[in-house]
C-alpha cells in the first residue's frame, strides 16, 4: 500500500494533480470593462507571463514608484490568549476581508481566450503611457529585455464585439483624439481571433466613416500616421486603443524595435517600406473613395428629401388651385342662375301682349 500511495503522489506531482493547471490560468477571463495590455508570444505562455510581469513592474516603478502591497499584520500570541474564542473569530474574519481587498495587484494575468496571447489587467495604471515608455526606452537603448514576448499592445477600452455595440462605444471613446477641434492623420490596425462574425473590411469601413464624421480634417495615412487605432477582437470582446509611433516602434514589436539596421538590412527594409507605402496608398485611396461615396450618398439623400418637399409643395399648390377652380365653377353656376332669373319676367311680358292683341 505504501508503494502504491508513493506512486500516486509522484504522478500527481508530475502531472499537476488535476487542479493546478486551472489555478494557474486564473478564475477570471478577459471581460468587457477591463483595461490592460495584450501580449503575444511564441508557444510559451507561462514564460511570457513571467517576462511580462518583470518588464511591466520595472518600468511601472520608474513611472509610478514601487507598488505598495502590505500584508495584514498578525496579532501577538499574548493578545490572542486574552481574547475569548468569539472575539478571536471576528478578528480573523475581519483580517481575511482586509487581505482579500488588498490582493488585487496593479498587474494581474487573465485568460485572454486565444492561444499565444496573454492579457495583463492593469489597475491605477495608464496602459498607453506605460507601453509607450517601454518601447521608447528599448528603441533608444537597443537592449533586448525579453525572449518570448513579441508584441505588447495597450488596451485602453473594451466593449462587446458586435457592430452596434462597437459603433456606440467608439463614438464616445475616440472623441479626445478625433472630434473637432481635435484632428489628425490615422490608420486602423485590425485583428480578430476566435471570432467569425467580424469582417475586417466592414469594421474598417464603419470605423473610417465614424472618424470622418467627427471632423472632416481627419485623414487616412498608412505610411506615417500620427495616430493608430488598434482594434483587437478576441471571441466576443473588442479591445481598443489609440497609440502614437506605431510605425516607428515596429508595430509595437519588442523583438524588432531593438534591432540595429545594417546596410543590407537597410536595403531590404527600404524595399519592404516601399511595398508597404504602395499598399498603404492604395488602401488610403480606397478609404478616401469610400468616404467620398458616403458623402455623395448623404448629398443624394438630402436632394431626395428636398425633391420630396418640393413635390409636397406642388401637390398642395395643385390642391389649392383645384379649390379655386371649384369656387370659380360655383360662382359661374350662381351667375348663370341669376341670369336665368332676369330673363324670365321679360318672356312673361311678351306673352301677355300677344294675348291682348
Cβ–Cβ < 8 Å for 128, 246: no
Task: Give the per-residue pLDDT at 31.
Answer: 95
pLDDT tens-place values along the chain, 357 residues long? 556 556 555 554 444 444 434 444 444 899 999 999 999 998 899 999 999 999 999 999 999 999 876 554 544 444 445 557 777 777 777 766 665 555 678 999 999 999 999 999 999 999 999 999 999 999 999 999 999 999 999 999 999 999 999 999 999 999 999 999 999 999 999 999 999 888 999 999 999 999 999 999 999 999 999 999 999 999 999 999 999 999 999 999 999 999 987 554 445 555 555 666 666 667 777 676 766 666 677 777 777 777 777 777 878 787 877 777 777 777 777 777 666 665 555 444 444 544 444
- What ranges do the domains of the chain cover? 36-66+102-252
Task: Give the per-residue pLDDT at 296.
Answer: 72
Task: Give the per-residue pLDDT at 279.
Answer: 67
What's the CATH number for 36-66+102-252? 3.30.2300.10
Which residues are registered as beta bridge partners of 243?
Answer: 228
Helix (H, G, I), strand (E, B) or coil at 346: helix
Q: At what angle do helices 127-141 and 45-64 cross, to 10 degrees?
A: 100
Please give the backbone phi and psi of residue 48, each rounded to the nearest 5 degrees, phi first: -60, -40
Task: Give the per-residue pLDDT at 237.
Answer: 96
Between CA 113 and CA 281 the distance in angstroms is: 34
N-terminal to C-terminal alpha carbon distance within the chain: 159
Task: Give the per-residue pLDDT at 19.
Answer: 40
Q: What's the pTM? A: 0.63
Task: Give the per-residue pLDDT at 268.
Answer: 55
The count of other CB atoms within 10 Å of the CB of residue 148 is: 21
Task: Give the per-residue pLDDT at 14.
Answer: 47
Task: Give the per-residue pLDDT at 25.
Answer: 45
Cis peptide before 182 (omega within 30 of 0): no
Task: Give the per-residue pLDDT at 75.
Answer: 46
User: By C-alpha distance, which of 168, 189, 186 is closest to 177?
Assistant: 186
Cβ–Cβ < 8 Å for 153, 37: yes
Amino acid at each position: 500500500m505504501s508503494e502504491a500511495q508513493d506512486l500516486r503522489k509522484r504522478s500527481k506531482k508530475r502531472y499537476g494533480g488535476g487542479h493546478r493547471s486551472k489555478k494557474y490560468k486564473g478564475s477570471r477571463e478577459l471581460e468587457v470593462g477591463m483595461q490592460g495590455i495584450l501580449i503575444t508570444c511564441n508557444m510559451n505562455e507561462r514564460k511570457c507571463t513571467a517576462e511580462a510581469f518583470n518588464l511591466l513592474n520595472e518600468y511601472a516603478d520608474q513611472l509610478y514608484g514601487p507598488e505598495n502591497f502590505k500584508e495584514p499584520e498578525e496579532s501577538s500570541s499574548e493578545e490572542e490568549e486574552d481574547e475569548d474564542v468569539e472575539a478571536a473569530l471576528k478578528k480573523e474574519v475581519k483580517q481575511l476581508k482586509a487581505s482579500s481587498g488588498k490582493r488585487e495587484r496593479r498587474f494581474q494575468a487573465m485568460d485572454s481566450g486565444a492561444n499565444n496571447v496573454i492579457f495583463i489587467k492593469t489597475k491605477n495604471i495608464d496602459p498607453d503611457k506605460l507601453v509607450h515608455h517601454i518601447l521608447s526606452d528599448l528603441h533608444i537603448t537597443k537592449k533586448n529585455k525579453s525572449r518570448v514576448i513579441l508584441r505588447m499592445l495597450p488596451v485602453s477600452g473594451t466593449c462587446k464585439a458586435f457592430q452596434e455595440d462597437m459603433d456606440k462605444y467608439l463614438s464616445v471613446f475616440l472623441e479626445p483624439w478625433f472630434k473637432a477641434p481635435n484632428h489628425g492623420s490615422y490608420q486602423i490596425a485590425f485583428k480578430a481571433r476566435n471570432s467569425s462574425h467580424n469582417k475586417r473590411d466592414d469594421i474598417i469601413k464603419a470605423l473610417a466613416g465614424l472618424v470622418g464624421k467627427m471632423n472632416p480634417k481627419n485623414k487616412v495615412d498608412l505610411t506615417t500616421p500620427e495616430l493608430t487605432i488598434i482594434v483587437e477582437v478576441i471571441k466576443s470582446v473588442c479591445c481598443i486603443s489609440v497609440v502614437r509611433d506605431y510605425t516607428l516602434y515596429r508595430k509595437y514589436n519588442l523583438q524588432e524595435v531593438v534591432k540595429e539596421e545594417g546596410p543590407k538590412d537597410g536595403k531590404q527594409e527600404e524595399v519592404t517600406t516601399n511595398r508597404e507605402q504602395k499598399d498603404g496608398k492604395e488602401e488610403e485611396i480606397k478609404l478616401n473613395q469610400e468616404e467620398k461615396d458616403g458623402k455623395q450618398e448623404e448629398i443624394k439623400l438630402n436632394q431626395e428629401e428636398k425633391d420630396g418637399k418640393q413635390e409636397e409643395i406642388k401637390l398642395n399648390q395643385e390642391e389649392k388651385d383645384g379649390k379655386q377652380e371649384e369656387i370659380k365653377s360655383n360662382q359661374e353656376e350662381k351667375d348663370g342662375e341669376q341670369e336665368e332669373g332676369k330673363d324670365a319676367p321679360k318672356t312673361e311680358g311678351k306673352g301677355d301682349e300677344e294675348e291682348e292683341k
